Chains A and B, each alone.
Chain A
Amino acid sequence: MNSKLHGLVQTEWRWLIAIYLFLAGAGGGAHITGVVADFMGWTQLANIGIGLGWPCVLIGCLCLIGDLGTARNAWRVARKPDTSWIARGTIIISIFMIVAFIHTVLWVWPGTMAGPEVGARHLVGVIGAFFAFGTMVYTGLLLGDAIPIPFWNTTLLPILFFVSALSTGVMAVVLVGVIAAADQAHLLTLGRVDIVLIVIEALVLAAYLHGSYRVPNTRMAAEHLLKGELAAMFWMGVAVCGLAVPLVIDAVGLHGAGAAAASILGLIGGLCLRYVVLAGGAMYPMAAAGFEFRPIKRSKDPMPAIGKMPPS
């Protein structure tokens, strides 16, 4: 697949897992945005955020299940929560979806918006936000626990994924908010919050790549992103679409279609970020007695060299 990295480039986790990591993050971020909006008294945005969060995560989980080879056993996934982040994550995500679903049914569903139980609503919202936070951070910890892949194995990755998740969550809420014609002033405020998040995300991303570049074991992965095969997706998708353009649009304070466009680009950028981080994951080659060993090429096509069999 990729001999440029010299090591074992992981080719097992691709788009479906990228979508899973992205939707789990953005869904959690949307939920937190909704809960905060609820505390601010912005009912419509609160409903959008909370009503949007868990379905996003659910779709992400379907992508994960789609990536499994044997869905018939998918329910077994939480059997070893002690050492496996997939098992722990499954538990965290399940709790999040259940709490957020209850929240949605009780207080977001049209016609169920009730006044008296404000305290209970806030409490359930905060519990949901706590597990949403867990979901967002987990997407980074999941990769970070793959010890043989040093590019993922850093504390900055969960932070990067968390900030990106929060930012994409805000963008998702803004996008639906624009479509649902939510309050302009509230949307502009969210846009301003997003400026801060995008700046933090850019800084964390820079620190992450700089840190990777400095260490020999991960330099090749960082180079792969910055100027290798993934460079186009990294610069166009993550840097321009995901960070620069939304930042400018938010800073100018466009609303309506402009804000929606910024959100869509930002969401695409969030997905690209997950993909380039996944695709950059490589193990370093084995070494013994002063030799470095490259793995044999694992081509996706089993028999590139063999032509058609002669007719018999």
Chain B
Amino acid sequence: MARYGMVIDLKRCYGCYACSMACKVANHTPPNVFWSRVLKGESGTFPNVVRQALPVLCFHCEDPGCVKVCPTKATYANDDGVVVIDKEVCVGCKYCMMGCPYGARYTVPEWKSYFPEGLPLSELEQFQKEAWEEKSGCGVATKCDFCTERREDGKEPSCVTACPADARIFGDLDNPDSEASQRIKRDRGFVLKPEQGTKPKVYYLPPR
């Protein structure tokens, strides 16, 4: 069985937010929901200041804080290691949002359009609304699922395909020969907030 993970090369990422957009396009997330985000950080003092981008998503942790606190078993890890949410079981208690150290989860009480309220929905918006309600739902926890539908179609996750800098590598961490596993080993891959003990499956390669 595969154990999916991702590697993000911070040397290559230039913080263009293409992954955030690609995720929105693929998963029809409504306003204020960012399964894929890009954080920006600064270090140093003037004039020697360096800016660095850090793209984040759900890390599909080995030992996920979200699963530990969920009272309903609504969120769980699939056989392929992808952490998913059963929207029929989730009660929307939001405890998982307190249990995830990475802020990967979002809930929206109701679906909203990107355009001002009161305008009639366009055909596309109608489609997006239905797609969101079918896949994710309102009032329940939602997050990145490594693009389940795209993987079923044999495609890579949307954010990986979209990245113009080729900074994201998706792959099977159980397979030692996959590019992802190789790069983690060779280029000193690390995870975020390791002290939280969640064992993320999204690794980063150092910026320098």
Among A54-62, A83-91, A188-196, A222-230, the one that faces the other chain is A83-91
Q: Mark B103-147, 1 if CB is under 8 A from A, else 0.
A: 100010100101110010000000000000000001110000000
Cα separation A298 to B92 with both chains bound (whole Å) = 19
Contact (Cβ within 8 A) B208 A149: no
A86 partner residues in chain B, CB cutoff 8 A: 69, 71, 93, 95
A302 and B208 contact, Cβ closer than 8 Å, known pairs A10-B98, A293-B54? no
Task: Decide yes or no whether B89 CB sits under 8 A from chain A.
Answer: yes
Task: Decide yes or no whether B185 CB sits under 8 A from chain A.
Answer: no
Smallest distance from the beta carbon of B55 to chain A beta carbons, Å? 10
Cα separation A70 to B65 with both chains bound (whole Å) = 22
Among A41-49, A235-243, A283-291, the one that faces the other chain is A283-291
Of residues 186 through 208 on chain B, the ones whose CB sits less than 8 Å from some CB of chain A are 190, 192-193, 196, 204, 206-208
Contact (Cβ within 8 A) B207 A68: no
Cα separation A298 to B34 with both chains bound (whole Å) = 10
Cα separation A79 to B93 with both chains bound (whole Å) = 13
Task: Decide yes or no whether A8 CB sits under 8 A from chain B.
Answer: yes
Residue from A74, A287, A298 within 8 A of B32 (CB atoms): A298
A148 and B139 contact, Cβ closer than 8 Å, known pairs A13-B98, A77-B93, A80-B70? no
Residue from A68, A143, A308 within 8 A of B93 (CB atoms): A68
Contact (Cβ within 8 A) B204 A288: yes
- Chain B residue at minimum C-beta to C-beta distance from A281: B98
Contact (Cβ within 8 A) A70 B139: yes
Cα separation A281 to B97 with both chains bound (whole Å) = 12
Counted as pairs of residues, one from A and one from B, with CB atoms less than 8 Å apart, the total is 152
A210 partner residues in chain B, CB cutoff 8 A: none
Contact (Cβ within 8 A) B109 A69: yes
A64 partner residues in chain B, CB cutoff 8 A: 93
Task: Decide yes or no whether B148 CB sits under 8 A from chain A.
Answer: no
Contact (Cβ within 8 A) B100 A148: yes
Number of interface residues of A (CB under 8 A): 49
Contact (Cβ within 8 A) B39 A296: yes
Of residues 29 through 47 on chain B, the ones whose CB sits less than 8 Å from some CB of chain A are 30-32, 34, 37-43
- Chain A residue at minimum C-beta to C-beta distance from B50: A291
Interface size bracket, B side? 35 or more
A84 and B69 contact, Cβ closer than 8 Å, known pairs A68-B93, A283-B101? yes
A70 and B140 contact, Cβ closer than 8 Å, known pairs A13-B98, A296-B39? yes
Smallest distance from the beta carbon of A78 to chain B beta carbons, Å? 7
Task: Decide yes or no whether B161 CB sits under 8 A from chain A.
Answer: no
Contact (Cβ within 8 A) B91 A73: yes
Task: Decide yes or no whether B94 CB sits under 8 A from chain A.
Answer: yes
Contact (Cβ within 8 A) A286 B119: no
Contact (Cβ within 8 A) B99 A148: yes
Cα separation A78 to B99 with both chains bound (whole Å) = 17
Cα separation A77 to B138 with both chains bound (whole Å) = 18
Task: Decide yes or no whether A257 CB sits under 8 A from chain B.
Answer: no
Cα separation A68 to B141 with both chains bound (whole Å) = 11
Task: Decide yes or no whether A214 CB sits under 8 A from chain B.
Answer: no
A74 partner residues in chain B, CB cutoff 8 A: 91
A70 and B39 contact, Cβ closer than 8 Å, known pairs A288-B204, A303-B116? no
Task: Decide yes or no whether A106 CB sits under 8 A from chain B.
Answer: no
A306 and B116 contact, Cβ closer than 8 Å, known pairs A80-B70, A293-B41? yes
Contact (Cβ within 8 A) A291 B71: no
- Chain B residue at minimum C-beta to C-beta distance from A11: B97
Cα separation A286 to B65 with both chains bound (whole Å) = 16
Residue from B42, B92, B102 within 8 A of A70 (CB atoms): B92
Cα separation A90 to B70 with both chains bound (whole Å) = 13
A120 partner residues in chain B, CB cutoff 8 A: none
Cα separation A291 to B40 with both chains bound (whole Å) = 9
Contact (Cβ within 8 A) B207 A286: no
Q: What are 12 contact pairs spanning A and B, CB under 8 A?
A: A12-B97, A13-B98, A67-B92, A69-B90, A76-B89, A79-B71, A84-B69, A86-B69, A90-B71, A146-B98, A288-B206, A296-B39
Assuming A292-B43, A303-B114, what are 14 further A-B pairs, CB within 8 angstroms? A12-B94, A13-B98, A73-B88, A73-B91, A79-B73, A87-B71, A143-B98, A145-B69, A147-B101, A148-B99, A288-B41, A292-B41, A294-B41, A296-B38
Q: Which residues of B contact A (CB under 8 A)?
A: 10, 30-32, 34, 37-43, 50, 52, 54, 56, 65, 68-73, 88-95, 97-103, 107, 109, 112, 114-116, 119, 138-140, 190, 192-193, 196, 204, 206-208
Q: Which 6 A-B pairs have the closest CB atoms?
A: A69-B139, A69-B92, A291-B41, A302-B31, A148-B101, A146-B98
